[in-house]
Structure formats: structure tokens, C-alpha cells
Structure 1
Amino acid sequence: MVDLNTLPRRHYTTGPTPLEHLGDLSMKLGGPQIWIKRDDQLGLTQGGNKTRKLEFLIADALAQGADTLVTAGGVQSNHCRLTLSAARREGLDCHLVLEEDLGPDAKPVPAEAGGNPAEHTGNFLLFDLLGADSVEVHPHGSDLIARAENLAAELKGRGKNPYIIPVGGSNATGALGYVDCAQELLTQFAEVGLDVSSLVTPSGSAGMQAGLIAGLHREGSQIPVLGINVSRTQEVQEHKIVGLVDEVASFLELPPVPRDRSVGLGDYFGTGYGLPTPGMVEAVRLFAETEGILLDPVYTGKAAAGLIDLIRQGRFEANDTVVFIHSGGVPGLYARAGAFA
């Protein structure tokens, strides 16, 4: 078994992120007892789950002598914001390859339904403030990784040494951040005396969920990690989760992880990635009104909507303990303010 402490790693957060009991929300929903892991409070600009991934990815880039980062995502990508922030911290160049949220046949989203995500606000504003070395915006459905690879080749031709980080930082290296988080969670559960029934997490590029699954498996924990998909059907997303779990387990020289540990529910992403749903709006308002906690509309808002619906369906017992992973992304809330008007 590979020891994480032997691997190259940068550190962007001081200490564990908080684990908080959401007593008022739990009472409002009639149980279970809901706790929240505040990974929105991770280091780098405005925090979020990608910070844990970047600690390993940036270390790998530096070990390879990189002087430039190239990565890709949506126009309101939290991953791109945090990659750019890490680049500023490390003195690296950073180039962003972005995708419009809407497909070529889709109608523009009116302001009252969430506004134009490419407006100079939210994460897109932060790309400017953080001084991205270049920002390209391509039509929805473009092959971003192919363009990132071409851009990296162009930069190499100019004498740079680029390092490509995949969408969401979700490869085996990035997922190590959440293998480590699994250990952090188990330590916190023991300190508070929690018998946790389930972890509930957003599931997008799947690095966070796959890392948690592999990390808990590594520690011999049977706590299930229930993913709420933000962009794909259950069948497609679970195939993605399983593939990455297997990669991480192989890298860490772990025994095979049972297939049934990888669950991603596809009932809550609505009409598409980043597009508002009534459940998301209700969940964001409910967390804010009961606990003073802001969720983002793309990941945590939809995952919380799934959690709330599962509670109402009776998926959890009143005396269960459920831990919700707040993956951050709050800057994206301001780019879609119209959804809450």
C-alpha cells in the first residue's frame, strides 16, 4: 500500500476543514441528523474541493519542471479559478480553455432563469482579477482537452514547459486529495463520536467521490459515499466513478473496490449542467435560511436538492447521521443570481 506521505504535495490549507452539525436544518426536515464538511473553506481563492486535488497535481507539475499550467472547464469553472489561484501562488503561468454552458441548439438563458453565465461576473470575473495568461471560450460541446493539448504544444514551441490538468482535476493524482480527506473525516468522526450512516456528495468529474470511496476502502471503512450527479445519468456517471476508483486503487496498491461502492444518482441535474432547477433553488434557500450557509447552484445546490428529496422519500431513518460534503463553488452563485429572483 502506497503511503500518501511519501508523495509530492503542496499545502494550501492550514489544518482540517470544519465538520459542523446542521441542527436547525435537521429539525426542519424531521431528521436524519445532518452534518456538513466545510470544504468550501479550503485554501486558495474562495476555496472549494479542487484545492485538495491541486495539492497533489501542482506538486506533480513542479516535480516535472513545469512553468505553465493548462486546464479546461466551463465558463464558471471553480476548478479553473483554483488552478489559476495555485498558479499565482507558485509563480506559474496559467492558460484556461473554457466551454460555454449552452449547446448550439439551446436558447439563451433569460436573466430571470439564471442569466448569461459568460457575463463578467462570478468565476469569470475572478479569472480576470487573478490575471490568467490567456482565456479561450469555445462553443458548448467542444473538445476542450484536445484544444488544451494543442495549446500546450504551441506553448512548448515557444520554449515553455506546460503541464495539462484535466477537467476538474479528476485523475488518479488529483483524487489523492480526497483519499487523504477520507482519513481526515474518519479522525473527525472519532473525535465527535459520530456513527455516520452515509456521506452525500456532488458528483461531477468524479475525482472527489472516487477519492473518498478509495480512501474509505483503504481505511477499512464501510461508510457509503452517495453521489448526486450534476450533469449525467446514473448509468453514465457510475461508469465514470468506477473507472476512476479503480485507477486510484491500482495506484495506491489497494485490494479491488467492490462495484456497489460507486453510486451516482442521476435524478437531480435537471435539463443540464449548470442550469437551474426548482429543487436546487429550494435547497440553496433552505440552507441559507436555516444555517446561514451558502451553497452554489451547480454542484452543492443540486446535491443538497437530492439529499432533501431522499430524506422526504424516507431513504434515511430519523436517527441516522448523514454527512454532506460542501464542495465549494459559491462564486458561481453570483453569476446565476437571476435564478433566485
Structure 2
Amino acid sequence: MTIKAVPLATWPTPLEPAMRLAGAIGLEELWVKRDDLTGLGGGGNKVRKLQYTCAQAVEAGATGVVTTGAPQSNHARLTAAAAARLGLSCTLVLAGTAPEAMRGNLLLDELAGARIVWAGTDPLAEVAAAQDGYVIPFGGTNAVSAQGYVDCAKELLTQLPDLDTVVVALGSGGTMAGLVAQLGPERVLGVDVGALPDPRATVAGLLDEMLAPAESGMWAAGGTETGAVSESLRIDSGQVGAGYATVTEPVRAAMRLAARTEGIFLDPTYTGRAMAGLCAAKPRGKVVFLHTGGLPGLLA
């Protein structure tokens, strides 16, 4: 299978030292991979995935795209921005009902020209299937789009060849899967945000698709058999709290710490949880925190 991408940003994103934050947490060395600075539509990790899913849509001859998410979905915002860049129409199928005021990501969705369909309590996938356009999956994640984080891992190995651990939020699974495919499971710590009922199985399933015999060259660093992937994945499930839509005190503390030591703003759903997981794990050696964006959601 040939995987291609449409250009939506300028790479590589910066890798910045975070010495004050490292000292506050008790780490030997900490770097921040600034995928919040991907440029398009307010930035964030979904841009890397959309370069592949939008390429599939264009190749299929689509004139519009459809995707799903929560009301403050970062993926939905960036899908709207990517569609605008590529001259495609965009329909966003969002859970629940319209709020009284359009804030945060919702405001940006409308600004980019997206049509918003509120699904109420109906299954998002069913409502999306009834719309007109090429359907991009939840979170923009499939085995093809996860290649975007194989690309990111290659950037990291150029920027910091002897890195020991990358810490990343684990939402729909594609970001972690792409990193693991290139770096191996021992060098990636995913912090579950509560978006999936079984994140371990989801990431393992994506890797099984990515690392099928025809694509086995992606498994460059780890040397792990795909059948053992699920057991070898490093996942912190201790930051979910009462659920995806809630905020815990450790997450609030992590957000304050990052802002007050490095001037880096995190969101409460993804990067805040990832930073709380980093603070709890305190990995040794050269640690990279992958900042996946999400600031507009905080402003909601």
C-alpha cells in the first residue's frame, strides 16, 4: 500500500528544552515537542493525521468531508481548517445539542465555514454516514493516518537521537500507535484520557494493521512481534478520573505547573492529563513531552 500525504503544515515542529519544568518535576532532562505549533487552524497533532486522511478524500474525488466528535473536538476544528485549505466542504457531526453560545473550538469551526450537525443522543457514526461527503473517522485515526506519527517519530530521532521516553496523551490511539511503530513500545508512554473503552486493544489493533507483512519496515526500532504488542504497550490509566469530560486536581496542578515554569499552556482533556501522567511517572533519562495542542478547548 502506497501512503501519500497532502501538505498542510511546515515540518519539523520545534523541540524545545524545558529545564525549569524538569527541575520542578524532578526529571534529569525534559524536552517539549511542539506539535501545538503545526500552524493550520490553531495547531495540534491532528494536522499530521489529516495530511493522510485528506489525501485519501482527494484521491477518491470527494468534494467534501464529514467527521465526528465531541462539541469541543480539536479534530473537528482542524478538519474544518484542512477542508478550507483544500477547497472542500466540511460537515461536523457533534454529540449532544447546540449550546447557547458558540465558544472555543465551536467558534473556530463556524469561522472556517463548517456545517455543524448536532446528533443529540444518536450514534455519531450513523448520523455521519447519512451526510454527504467523504467520512473521516473519529479522531482522524486509522492505520493510514497513524503514519503521521511515524513521521513525527522520525523527526524526533533527528532532533534528539538518544531520547529515552516520549510521553503523549492517548485519545483515539493513532498518535501513540505511530510513535510506537517507529520508536518501539519501550520508549513511548501513553496517558489514557478516557476517550476509548479499551485503549490498549485499539492501539494494538492499529499496530497490527500498520505492521502487516507488507508494511513490516515501519517497525524500525522495537523489533517486537506484533502478536505481543498489546502486552508491551506502556499505558497510564490513572489520569482519567471520573471520565473524559471531567478534570481532576492532578491535571489542574500539572496545567498550572507547565504554565508557571515554562509559559506553556495545556488543555484539561488531553495535554493536561498527559502532563499529570508525566509528573506521576517521572521517567528517567532524556524525556520528550509531546504537546498535541488543544488550547481552544480550554477557552470554552
Query: Fold match, TM over 0.5?
Result: yes
Distance across 2 between alignment mates of 1:148 and 1:244: 22
1:8 positional shift: 2.4
Distance across 1 between alignment mates of 2:11 and 2:163: 22
1:188 positional shift: 0.9
For residues 40-98 of structure 1, the C-alpha deviation after alignment (integer angstroms, 9 at most, x for no partner) is 00131100000000111111111110101000000000000000100000110100000
Q: Is the 8 A contact 2:251 2:273 kept in 1?
A: yes
Which sections of structure 1, spanning at least 5 residues, go unmatched? 102-115, 156-161, 336-341
Q: Is the 8 A contact 1:225 1:261 kept in 2?
A: no
TM-score calculated relative to the size of structure 1: 0.80
TM-score calculated relative to the size of structure 2: 0.91
Distance across 2 between alignment mates of 1:117 and 1:326: 28
Find 2:82's aligned residue among 83, 86, 103: 86
- After TM superposition, the runs of 4+ consecutive aligned structure 1 residues lying more than 3 A away are 116-119, 255-258
Instruction: Give the equivalent residue in structure 1 for 2:208.
Output: 246
Instruction: Give the equivalent residue in structure 2 for 1:110.
Output: none
Q: Is the 8 A contact 1:224 1:261 kept in 2?
A: no
Q: Is the 8 A contact 1:76 1:117 kept in 2?
A: no
Find 2:70's aligned residue among 63, 71, 74: 74
Distance across 2 between alignment mates of 1:9 and 1:51: 11
Q: How many residues align?
A: 291
1:272 positional shift: 1.3
Matched, 1:139 2:120: yes
Q: Is the 8 A contact 2:119 2:127 kept in 1?
A: no
Q: Is the 8 A contact 1:18 1:37 kept in 2?
A: yes
Helix, strand or coil for the counterpart of 1:301?
Answer: helix
Q: Is the 8 A contact 2:157 2:163 kept in 1?
A: no
Q: Is the 8 A contact 1:172 1:251 kept in 2?
A: no
Find 1:196's aligned residue among 135, 160, 163: 163
For residues 75-127 of structure 1, the C-alpha deviation after alignment (integer angstroms, 9 at most, x for no partner) is 000000000100000110100000139xxxxxxxxxxxxxx987411001111
Distance across 2 between alignment mates of 1:209 and 1:181: 11
Instruction: Give the equivalent residue in structure 1 for 2:60.
Output: 64
For residues 266-300 of structure 1, the C-alpha deviation after alignment (integer angstroms, 9 at most, x for no partner) is 11011111321111111111100000011111100
Equivalences for residues 267-286 of structure 1 within 5 A: 267-286=238-257
1:264 positional shift: 2.1
Find 2:271's aligned residue among 300, 309, 324: 300
Equivalences for residues 121-270 of structure 1 within 5 A: 121-132=103-114, 134-139=115-120, 142-151=122-131, 155=132, 162-190=133-161, 195-217=162-184, 223-231=186-194, 236-250=198-212, 253-254=215-216, 256-257=225-226, 258-259=228-229, 260-270=231-241
Matched, 1:331 2:269: no
1:30 positional shift: 2.1
Matched, 1:23 2:23: no
Between structure 1 and structure 2, the one with the greater Rg is 1
Q: Is the 8 A contact 1:25 1:287 kept in 2?
A: yes
For residues 182-205 of structure 1, the C-alpha deviation after alignment (integer angstroms, 9 at most, x for no partner) is 111111113xxxx32211100010
Matched, 1:322 2:287: yes
Q: Is the 8 A contact 1:201 1:227 kept in 2?
A: yes
Q: Is the 8 A contact 1:56 1:173 kept in 2?
A: yes
1:9 positional shift: 1.2
Distance across 2 between alignment mates of 1:117 and 1:297: 20
1:17 positional shift: 0.4
Q: Counterpart amino acid of 1:307?
A: L
Percent of aligned positions that are identical = 43
1:252 positional shift: 5.4
Helix, strand or coil for the counterpart of 1:172?
Answer: coil
